[in-house]
Amino acid sequence: MNEDRQQSPVLEKPLSPPPYDNDKVMTEAEIPPPPSLSVIEDYEEIAKKDMPPIEEETIEFKCVHWNVTDWNKLDHRVLGPVFQAGGHDWNVLMFPRGNNQTKAVSIYLDLTNAKSTIQPEEYACAQFIICLSKPSDPTRFVSLAAHHRFTSEESDWGFTSFVSFENLQNYIEQESVRVTVIVRVVKDATGILWHNFVNYDSKKVTGYVGLQNQGATCYMNSLFQSLYFTNSFRKAVYQIPTENDQPTKSIALALQRVFYNLQFLDTAVGTTELTKSFGWDSLEAFRQHDVQEFNRVLQDNLEIKMKASRMKSYIKCINVDYESSRSEDYYDIQLNVKGCKNLEDSFKDYITEETLEGENKYMAEGYGLQDAKKGVIFESFPPVLHLQLKRFEYDMMRDMMVKINDRHEFPLEIDLEPYLAANADRSGGHNYVLHGVLVHSGDLTGGHYFAFVKPEKNGKWFKFDDDRVIPATLKEVLEENYGGEQTGMQGLNMRGRLMNRFTNAYMLVYIRECMMDEILSPVTETDIPKHLITRIEEEKRILEIKRKEKEEQMYYMKTLLATSESFKANRGFDFADFDERNAPQNGILVSRVRKDQTFGAFKADIAKWRGIAENEFRLWLLVNRQNRTVRLDMPIPDEEANSTLDEVRQRYATNQATLRFYLEEASFHENDVPVFPPSPQVGSPFALIFIKAFSPEYQSLQGMGHIYAPKDAKIQSVVGKLKEIARLEESNDILVYEEIKPSMVDRIDLNITFTQAELQDGDILCVQRNLTAEEQETILQNGGQVTVDKYLEYELGKLLVTFAPRFEDDESPELELLLHRDMNYEQVAACLAGELKVSPDRLRVINPYYQGKVPQKRFDGQKLGKVLSSGFNNNQGGGRFRLLYEKLEMSLDEIESRCMVTVTVCTPTLKDQQVVELLLSKESTMKDLLEALVAKDVSFESQSGTRRVRIFDTLHGKFHQEYDELSWKAAVSERPFLKVYAEEVPEEEMNMTEQDCFIDVFHFQRITNHTHSVPFKFVLKAGEKLEDTKKRLQARTGLEDKEWNKVKINIVSEDELEVNLVSDDQEVLFTASRPYQQGDRIGLDYIDKSTKMDRNGSGAIFIRG
């Protein structure tokens, strides 16, 4: 049962209204109440008052009454008589004593056939009012109203607390009461009216699917849907050759796959593969970007453009016959929203001429300064027109970007011929039809993006909201995305004032009417590359197989079977190597069996596989001990033959999802009948002990066999048997160790019993020959280990390390090497060089996680294990580690005797930057640095320069140090790498007077520690007005006039506690009588438009080509 708790009961009629006095002046409180309404005669008025007005068409409006008698004898659940409305059967469902509560009557409206199997898809949308009234007085009633989409999942809807039992007595009369239902069944034009979208199927309802949102990529999804339904663009994407590409490295192939899946999949399509092809990491995918910029970058990388059109920019003199013009291609148009009521106004604003006069006259060649008209005109329009509405603008007063939510109307069709040049080709007409509306809901700092698209020429509109696609009305497409003030009651705030919409269109897609058939012509399989279809269909087939396997997985389990051969194949720790990847060579049988298979049937299958009788072996359960080793636990009793394997697992290995067994073949027979020692469950006097042999000469350890050891016998008593199994001479003196766990291998005293040594079933003894002193010395000299405990300790230190090229564009291979944690740098480099077939001294191995992201040269005397355990290197999991390597053109010793210097050359202005990397000797001079820059074709030839170069570095975005010969030599000799800046010293520094001084200048955005761009030294000229100082500052920064006009100049104290804005152009910043404090700086406050990430984490869009 469901309840709409947003409604309130209608006020009940007073039992005895106060007398009305005609002669008395009435106060507000004494104004008579409105006429009482009757549920029988005035149900239409009741509906008008309590049902909110809606735009949907009414199928049928109806009022029905149910006279309920014998109230106190009613059942807990009562159904009223069935009535018809809007072509559906309805009735009232009532709980006289409450439903899931005991304080009020519960009443619901029920769609009678919604849950029937005859009409499983039946649903209805209805507004309704339920009234409960006194039989003798239809004006005394209580009512509640609601609306609902009645479906098989929610076939009834109403009110759990309709009227309290206490208040019910006002309407019960002689155990009778009237229940009235006023219902308006409405037409569901879109098919989703009041839909809760639980189990909603976009493909089934609309024929289309959406795109999954992997972060802040909904802006991207809305654009992709628009491009996808521009069928000519989709066909062009399909024509890009991608046969040999990989989806995560090829933008074209990844986009082809997205488009294919949008057409043929039944569920939302993922875009992770596509963003990976852009070169985006997971963080980049969570950033919100500008859609227009993203669209241009995407099409640049695909080398596909919507067919370009041309626009002419011109300046035409008024008084002389002179015109300067330039035609250029354009692919989209940015239109103003602010100050424009509609799209037509925006186009008129775009082509409005500007008059150049007064101080702004135009310099016409041959005519001098002239009054002129400046403007643009369209020479042609493209078949598909992308219009960018400028919803985001810079607010000078607030010094920040803001969203423009003003109302801006756009039509379903627009004629663009009035905006064409007089000599433009007008054939075919220039009527454009709206095809897509891209919408942003929210403010500048965030929000949500979605799109409305009309995929077919004469089709319907749909809303594409990430993974959900729903039908849309024209009101949703147009009116609700114009912006401006909201209309109706929903647009009022708590004070009754109209609120602005924060949901509005920011991009419009129009298609030229005469070309719609061509642009929207259906995309068929013949348009899709065959290799793409083959590849995706094969992937689907594999996924379907995996899906079925996963479905069946709940009925299956895995078993691993070890044999004596498995133990003998083990050359390392533990009983056997159970790594399934190496199962065949390790002698492990991996099986996928049904959980309900009996243990007896499983054992029969094993017997068949082994080729022996079932009574010739028994199966021991292998378990994980607390010390993380795998050992025998107990043989499975014969009594479990009829138990299922899952029951066996739950009984004997509860904490293991996989059953592991050891197959023990009979070693003894009596009268040709196999005999096994008693099971440990019944107190066997024997322990099944496994034997390994260690060969110091060959540095090898191998499983050899097993013995049944008498628990009460001394270990010395089985030494002969141990020698035999280990294949040692009878005369050899032996050492015996117990392999408890990899880090614990203890020597065994042969003079104690097996019980005293705490040896039990499944334990492992390692046997070796006792070496002479001379033998030990020889083995140690050869780098070997003389005892099994030392050998296993050494083996424990082995590490599998992955080596990858340091740089992405290096085509050298990625490889894995088995190394030891005690190796030093030279040993590691030698092993790697051997695999790469290069000289070790021409190879540099780098730990990429050392001290953040700074590459570490060599290991600074550390062992490999120490290096790999630091800096979060174990990023691959499973004990695997990663190092980088770099092939060198010179020896490592020679490189490390030099300094890597990264120079950002700023010439002719600070905005014009070039990054140069130099490898300089640690004894290099400033002259050597400059000569190296010249060798890299760097030149300093600015108009106001001196041809002298300043080398400096920065700290936290501030000017830090200017290098002279002494400080340069100190830095380059002591540091492995340097990052510096180089600029040409301005001529003004050569002409300084005694009154002039230097001051440091830095750039920031709003807050002084949010620095950006390149700081610099600047000459403050005594007595110079601010307007002249600003001109020199602008020249140094290289900022264009438009950007410079947004710069605010501040004097910032050394501690940055004082930031004083200076804005009066006539003010003199510096005089001899007005010096600055030590450490003061000039701070230039403006928005950072560089490519680096700003403080909000957003950055310029890039797509890896």
pLDDT tier for residue 693 given thresholds of 50, 70 and 90: very high
In the chain, residues under CATH classification 2.60.210.10 are: 28-186
pLDDT tier for residue 479 given thresholds of 50, 70 and 90: very high
* Greatest mean pLDDT range, 353-357, 665-669, 691-695: 691-695
pLDDT score recorded for residue 857: 53
Please list, in sequence order, all residues whose beta carbon lies within 8 angstroms of the beta carbon of residue 938, skipping any fewer than 6 positions away: 905, 907, 914, 916, 982
Give pLDDT tens digits for 18-62: 333 333 333 344 445 566 899 999 999 999 999 999 889 999 999
pLDDT tier for residue 297 given thresholds of 50, 70 and 90: low
Give pLDDT tens digits for 706-726: 999 999 999 999 999 999 999
Give the residue carrying structure tokens 């189990």. Answer: 199
386 is catalytic: no
- Average pLDDT estimate for 440-457: 87
pLDDT tier for residue 481 given thresholds of 50, 70 and 90: very high
Fold annotation for 992-1105? Ubiquitin-like (UB roll) (3.10.20)
pLDDT tier for residue 697 given thresholds of 50, 70 and 90: very high
pLDDT score recorded for residue 289: 45
Selected catalytic residue, list 448, 531, 820, 1010: 448
Q: Is 847 helix (H, G, I), strand (E, B) or coil?
A: strand
pLDDT score recorded for residue 882: 87
Amino acid identity of residue 1054, one-letter, is: E
Backbone angles phi, psi at 398, to 5 degrees: -95, -5
pLDDT score recorded for residue 300: 59
pLDDT over 80 at 918, yes or no = yes
CATH of domain 797-895: 3.10.20.90
Least confidently predicted of 857-866, 955-964, 990-999:
857-866
pLDDT score recorded for residue 395: 62
Task: Round to whole Å and give the CA distance between 6 and 100.
Answer: 19
- Average pLDDT estimate for 314-326: 92
Selected catalytic residue, list 63, 131, 218, 317: 218
Q: What percent of the chain has pLDDT over 90?
A: 54
Which tops the pLDDT comparison, 625 or 29? 625
Side by side, the strands of the sheet bearing 137-150 are 58-68, 177-186, 124-134, 137-150
- Average pLDDT estimate for 444-458: 87
pLDDT score recorded for residue 1042: 82
CA angle 1051, 1056, 1062 (to 5 degrees): 20
Least confidently predicted of 10-24, 857-871, 909-923:
10-24
Task: Round to whole Å and give the CA distance between 172 and 177.
Answer: 5
Task: Round to whole Å and give the CA distance between 740 and 265.
Answer: 55
Least confidently predicted of 291-300, 612-621, 778-787, 949-958:
291-300
Which tops the pLDDT comparison, 124 or 1103? 124
| Two structure tokens written together for 690 | 């496994």
Task: Round to whole Å and give the CA distance between 1054 and 803.
Answer: 47
Fold annotation for 28-186? 2.60.210
pLDDT over 50 at 309, yes or no = yes
Least confidently predicted of 45-54, 298-307, 884-893:
298-307
Give pLDDT tens digits for 101-125: 889 999 999 998 877 755 667 889 9
CA angle 936, 942, 948 (to 5 degrees): 70
In the chain, residues under CATH classification 3.10.20.90 are: 554-676, 679-791, 797-895, 992-1105
pLDDT over 90 at 562, yes or no = yes
Least confidently predicted of 497-506, 589-598, 650-659:
497-506
Decide if domain 309-519 falls under CATH 3.30.420.40.
no
Fold annotation for 554-676? Ubiquitin-like (UB roll) (3.10.20)
| E strands in 303-390 | 309-317, 323-330, 332-336, 354-356, 362-364, 368-370, 372-378, 384-390
pLDDT, mean over the chain: 85
CB 339 within 8 A of CB 394: no
- Average pLDDT estimate for 1004-1017: 90
Task: Round to whole Å and give the CA distance between 477 and 499.
Answer: 20
Least confidently predicted of 25-34, 110-119, 363-372, 800-809:
25-34
Which tops the pLDDT comparison, 619 or 550? 619
State the pTM of this model. 0.60
pLDDT over 60 at 281, yes or no = no
In the chain, residues under CATH classification 3.90.70.10 are: 309-519
- 67 forms beta bridges with 178
The DSSP line for 202-223 is HHHHHS---B---SSTHHHHHH
Least confidently predicted of 305-319, 523-537, 544-558, 637-651:
305-319
pLDDT score recorded for residue 18: 37
Amino acid identity of residue 953, one-letter, is: D
Q: Which helix (H) or strand (E) holds 775?
A: helix 773-781
- Average pLDDT estimate for 746-759: 95
pLDDT score recorded for residue 14: 33
CB 905 within 8 A of CB 914: yes
- Average pLDDT estimate for 199-212: 90
Fold annotation for 679-791? Ubiquitin-like (UB roll) (3.10.20)
Residue 846 Cα distances to 771, 800, 828, 871, 891, angstroms: 41, 16, 11, 12, 15
448 is catalytic: yes
pLDDT tier for residue 1064 given thresholds of 50, 70 and 90: confident
